[in-house]
Amino acid sequence: MDVQTLTFLIVGATFLLYIAIAIWARAGSTNDFYVAGGGVHPVANGMATAADWMSAASFISMAGLISFMGYDGTVYLLGWTGGYVLLALCLAPYLRKFGKFTVPDFIGDRYYSQAARTVAVICAIFVCFTYVAGQMRGVGVVFSRFLEVDIVTGVVIGMGVVFFYAVLGGMKGITYTQVAQYCVLIFAYMVPAIFISIMMTGHVLPQAGFGGMLSDGTYLLDKLDGLSVELGFAEYTAGTKSTIDVFFITAALMVGTAGLPHVIVRFFTVPKVRDARKSAGWALLFIALLYTTAPAIATFARVNMIDTINGADGRGTAHAEAPSWISNWEETGLIQWEDKNGDGKMFYSGDERNEMTVDRDIMVLANPEIANLPAWVIALVAAGGVAAALSTSAGLLLVISTSISHDLLKRNLMPRITEKQELLYARSAAAVAVCIAGYLGVNPPGFVAQVVAFAFGLAASSFFPAIIMGIFSKRMNKEGAIAGMLTGILFTAAYIVYFKFIDPAANTAEHWWFGISPEGIGTLGMVINFVVAIAVAKVTREAPGDVQEMVESIRFPQGAGQASAH
Amino acid sequence: MSFASGPQAASYWKENLRLLFSLLCVWFVVSFGCGILLVDELNQIRMGGFKLGFWFAQQGAIYVFLLLIVVYVYKMNQLDKKYGVYEEDDSGSAPMENATAADDAQLNRGQ
């Protein structure tokens, strides 16, 4: 069977599985729709969190980005795992004890204010849309390569599937499909990694193969450092970003992780406070499996790619003899070759000799082909990429629809709607959100991982400080929290918009404030949020007594009721 | 379903914060310390095929993160038991089938 047919079969089979689960786990109540009835086992919740978390950016783009960035790719690896420590220690148990449906719920009640709730809703919707656009793009890339349809059709198909199970199943449907999607995506990620690790270094574990020795007796990383320098790139293990930029980007991603509404809401679905703590641990374990493999894949892929394009002698491979993966990806426009010196040979380097344009997003998808793995592995990777994109999109769309139906309508504008009406609004909001996300997926503002990176800056500068102060400071009042959230997110958004859209030409280190790139500015936004909130709270009245008592009560686990709308 | 006394609640919270603080220090040292700020110094040391700083940045810190959460869960369960606020298995959990019962559940506000 050829790759095309196999891919259709495997991707089709996983779709059937997701749809079957969605029908089995359809939501009957708003409680089901928002927090899966609050009865999800911590291990299952950990898996669902991991799938929710690991987006198309993690699965498709991250290893590719690292493979082009070398040490600089650390920002993604540390940033997207370290946040779970913050989440487990500082947020998840307390928010679970609080026991409502959404993050704006917490902000609204803790800061006893509809205005605070509304600000939180707007921040949540803004963050989620930024993030979901990247996912749809990822679905499009997978479809265009493996099912040979164009990116627009790919996005439409992806939207259709997400639409089906997010609208039907709500959080309950999403949670159990995500468990299945985690299994698909981690299997699809590990199989090629293990194959390639054994082929290149003889180690079964990619994490060990990463530091392993090649057949010619040099260490993999040393060889790559050598190759990189020879071809005019920076040394792979050294990178090019300044230390301050790496520091700020990593911090923005970590704090952003802990502030992302679709991640936080997952900890509302477990029965107990100690389950919320444990669940964060499981989630990180499942995530770490992929995140410790990704940098290994990045190095394997880079060495393989350079060897294939430049040939064993390092002088270039004739284009006519190029392996089939090059021509396959050339058809999608994601690999381009321009024969500058007219010798008919391809050559890849970091200086003027370079003749290749290789899109970073394809590295994981092309990896099995580059390493000549069997056709079913290639098909599996396609299914994994789709699973990663779908699971994250669904989680995000749920937050968007919940924000609108629950936080905006039920708790704010139309408090008298019945549960049935609320559920209908939730479903309609999810439907509209899917369409907008699809539009953004077709017209994306950048690389998948970069788009996603901005969502973190925005989450870091808005939610994280408000939630942390809501738990750890009894005095923090609504004036402080609202002022903090607004200045934080506006500052961050303005900085990003300025450098990315208004004046992209100025997007270089010498124009950045303190050398911090737009990707890392969320950290500064967060600091500003904290400072403004504390300053404003100092000059205004402290939080009322009953709110302070509520803060007291979320600080210890006993007596956590079911997540509740009342 | 609460602490025996106010001072007890305060000392539970204090112990909790102390644990949090020490774990977050380790978190900061392995990621921002070893992986970013001190990476060049640590890269002078080799561990097999890895430079140590690079290893911390792309592998080691993640393993430590995992360990930190494990320690946190274990210590917090101990702390909960010590102060009598540990959640027993039969309280607070409801199977999926009874999900709608949640609508009757009250939030323990101000208890």
Ramachandran class of A96: left when φ > 0, alpha when ψ lies in -120 to 50, beta otherwise: alpha
Residues of B in contact with A546 (CB under 8 A): 109-110
Structure tokens at A203: 């180690």
CB contact under 8 A, B83 and A556: yes
Selecting from A74, A89, A552 the residue whose C-beta is nearest the C-beta of B35 gives A74
Instruction: Kindly state whether A217 is in contact with chain B, defined as any CB-CB distance less than 8 angstroms.
Output: no
Q: At residue B109, does pLDDT exceed 50? A: no
CB A557 within 8 A of CB B87: yes
What is the predicted pLDDT for the residue at A36?
66
What is chain B written as a DSSP string?
---SSHHHHHHHHHHHHHHHHHHHHHHHIIIIIIIIITHHHHTTSEETTEEHHHHIIIIIHHHHHHHHHHHHHHHHHHHHHHTT-PPPTTSS---GGGGGGGGG----TT-
Interface of A with B in 184-203 (CB under 8 A): none
Instruction: Kindly state whether A70 is in contact with chain B, defined as any CB-CB distance less than 8 angstroms.
Output: no
B22 Cβ partners below 8 Å, 6+ apart? none
Binned at pLDDT 50, 70 and 90, residue A452 comes out as: low
3-state SS, residue A3: helix
Binned at pLDDT 50, 70 and 90, residue A533 comes out as: very high
H-type alpha helices, A111-242: 114-146, 151-201, 206-209, 220-230
Q: What is the pLDDT of residues A349-390, one digit of tens each?
A: 777 777 888 877 777 878 888 777 888 888 888 888 888 888
Q: How far is A435 from chain B (nearest CA, A)?
A: 31
Binned at pLDDT 50, 70 and 90, residue B62 comes out as: very high
3-state SS, residue A366: helix
Q: What is the pLDDT of residues A34-69, one digit of tens each?
A: 666 666 788 888 898 888 888 877 788 788 888 888
Residues of B in contact with A559 (CB under 8 A): 1-2, 92, 108, 111
Question: ipTM for the complex?
Answer: 0.85
CB contact under 8 A, A38 and B94: yes
- H/E stretch holding A57 reads none
* Alpha-carbon span A451 to A81, nearest angstrom: 18
CB A136 within 8 A of CB A55: no
Binned at pLDDT 50, 70 and 90, residue B19 comes out as: very high
Residues of A in contact with B62 (CB under 8 A): 77-78, 81, 288, 291-292
Binned at pLDDT 50, 70 and 90, residue B28 comes out as: very high
A145 Cβ partners below 8 Å, 6+ apart? A328, A329, A332, A334, A362, A365, A382
Please report, in angstroms and rounded to a whole number, the separation of the first and last CA atoms in chain A: 56
CB contact under 8 A, B66 and A556: no
Cα–Cα nearest to A294, from A67, A81, A71: A67
3-state SS, residue A154: helix
Cα–Cα nearest to A491, from A531, A453, A528: A528
pTM of the model: 0.84
Instruction: Kindly state whether A27 is in contact with chain B, defined as any CB-CB distance less than 8 angstroms.
Output: no
Q: Which residue has the tokens 């949640």?
A: B102
Interface of A with B in 271-300 (CB under 8 A): 271-274, 277-278, 280-281, 284-285, 288, 291-292, 295
Per-residue burial over A5-29, b if 16 or more Cβ lie within 10 Å, else e, is: ebbeebbeebbebbbebbeebebeb
Structure tokens at A371: 């390493």
